[in-house]
Amino acid sequence: MGTIEIAYAVSCTAAEGPHLRFALWLQGCSLRCPGCCNPELFERGRGHARDTSALGGDVIAAARELGIEGITVLGGEPLEQADAL
């Protein structure tokens, strides 16, 4: 597989969508919208690289152990890392 640049990950949250979810904030956004609530995520290279296979394992473990029902991908701009997703 490959790698993805992550700013933050939360294995189980009820705050980022319906039901319990795995939330993933990706690092990097070239849009730089005025008033963005996550401007610290604009610059690439400030997050940490994560192997996508290992990340998939984290999500599966969260589903089994924590009962998550979905994944929320936030940013930064997730579509700038669409190939890794």
CB-neighbour burial class of residue 36 (10 A; exposed 0-12, middle 13-18, buried 19+): middle
Tokens of 32: 């730089």
Structural domain containing residue 24: 3-81
Kindly tell me if the per-residue pLDDT of 1 is higher than 90.
no
pTM equals 0.92
Q: How far apart are CA 41 and CA 46, in angstroms?
A: 8
Summarised one tens digit per residue, pLDDT across range 7-24 is 999 999 999 999 999 999
Residue-wise pLDDT for 39-78, tens only, equals 999 999 999 999 999 999 999 999 999 999 999 999 999 9
Per the structure, the count of domains in the chain is 1
